[in-house]
Amino acid sequence: MSEIEDPKTSNGASNQVSDGTSGGITRRKFILGVIAGGAVVGAASYRFLAPSHAPLPMEASERLISLNVNGKTRRVDVMKQETLAWTLRYKLGLTGTKFGCDRAECGACTVLLDGVPHYSCSVLTHTVRNRKVTTIEGLAADDGTLHPVQKGIVDEQGFQCAFCMSGFTMAAVGYLQTNPNPTRAELAHGVSGNLCRCQDYKKILDALMRGAEYMRRA
Ligand code: FES
Ligand code: FES
């Protein structure tokens, strides 16, 4: 019988693998251990690419969850302390959601949860299992027709580098659903949780006001 190290309990000692439940670990436990071990390696590699507070691993059997993202059900392997921004970008490939501060200050990561803007860097993925998540990738129609707010941004050329654009767009879409005909000051207040490092606020507001106008017409 071969000896295989259990990655969850490894401290230099090793455990025997057997078909039964006594005298060693079961095949099922062994496979779960391998999955968990793989996740530890995966998380470790992410640490070189991302902010220092990378999520910690949890039991493999608890991690596979379903999310409703942009109208589709997505099965995803999620760690216990993983944020929604992390899941969207690094697990689901939805990189339109940006990491700016990663601490609820800049709004670059804004997405809609049941239509309401939230900082996805400050929401644990496990908490949104029964909610509808909308990202910038989910705004346009299936045939590629842009959302009215996106069209307003294109027509007004509202951003410089556009790093902050996804967050502003999602914040504006959420706000305009509650106040479709805002004054400029009201809309500015509505997206005041978002920051632009290029400080292009005048053009951003021009674009969002144009988007509000297009939304009313649509
Ligand atoms: S990245 Fe989430 S608020 Fe800045
Ligand atoms: S346009 Fe560059 S950060 Fe806003």
Amino acid at 200: D
Question: What confidence tier does 63 reach under pLDDT thresholds 50, 70, 90?
Answer: confident
Task: Give the C-alpha distances (Å, rounded to integers) separating 108 from 92, 167, 169, 171.
Answer: 18, 4, 10, 10
What pLDDT shows up at residue 57?
A: 55
The answer, yes or no, to whether any atom of ligand 1 lies below 6 A from the CB of 102, is yes
Residue 45 has pLDDT above 60, yes or no: no
- Among 69, 136, 81, which residue's Cα sits nearest to residue 109? 136
Give the residue, 75 or 21, on which the prediction is more confident. Answer: 75
* pLDDT value at residue 217: 95
For residue 195, give the ligand 1 atom closest to its CA.
4
Give 117-139 pLDDT, tens digit per residue: 999 999 999 999 999 999 999 99
Which superfamily does 58-217 belong to? Beta-grasp domain (3.10.20.30)
Residue 6 pLDDT class (50, 70, 90 cuts): very low
Q: Kindly give the number of the ligand 2 atom that is closest to the alpha carbon of 161.
A: 2
Whole-number Cα distances in Å, 76 to 14, 60, 62, 86: 31, 12, 11, 12
With a cut of 70, say whether residue 60 has pLDDT above it: no
Output the CA 119–ligand 1 centroid distance in Å: 6
Confidence at residue 61, expressed as pLDDT on a 0 to 100 scale = 53
pLDDT of residue 29: 55
Residue to probe by mutation, ligand 2, list 160, 166, 168, most atoms within 8 Å of CB: 160
pLDDT value for 26: 55
CA of residue 150 to ligand 1 center, whole Å: 21
**Among residues of the chain, what percentage have pLDDT more than 90?**
70
Give pLDDT tens digits for 154-201.
Answer: 999 989 999 999 999 999 999 999 999 999 999 999 999 999 999 989
| Both tokens assigned to 63 | 């991690």
Confidence of residue 38 (pLDDT cuts 50, 70, 90): very low
Confidence of residue 25 (pLDDT cuts 50, 70, 90): low
β-pairing verdict for 132-134 and 64-69: parallel
Q: Is 196 in the pocket of ligand 2 (CB under 6 A)?
A: yes
Q: State the chain's mean pLDDT as an integer.
A: 82
164 lines ligand 2 (CB under 6 A): yes
Class of residue 77 by CB neighbours under 10 A (exposed 0-12, middle 13-18, buried 19+): middle
Could you tell me the pTM of the whole model? 0.74
The atom of ligand 1 lying closest to the CA of 107 is 3
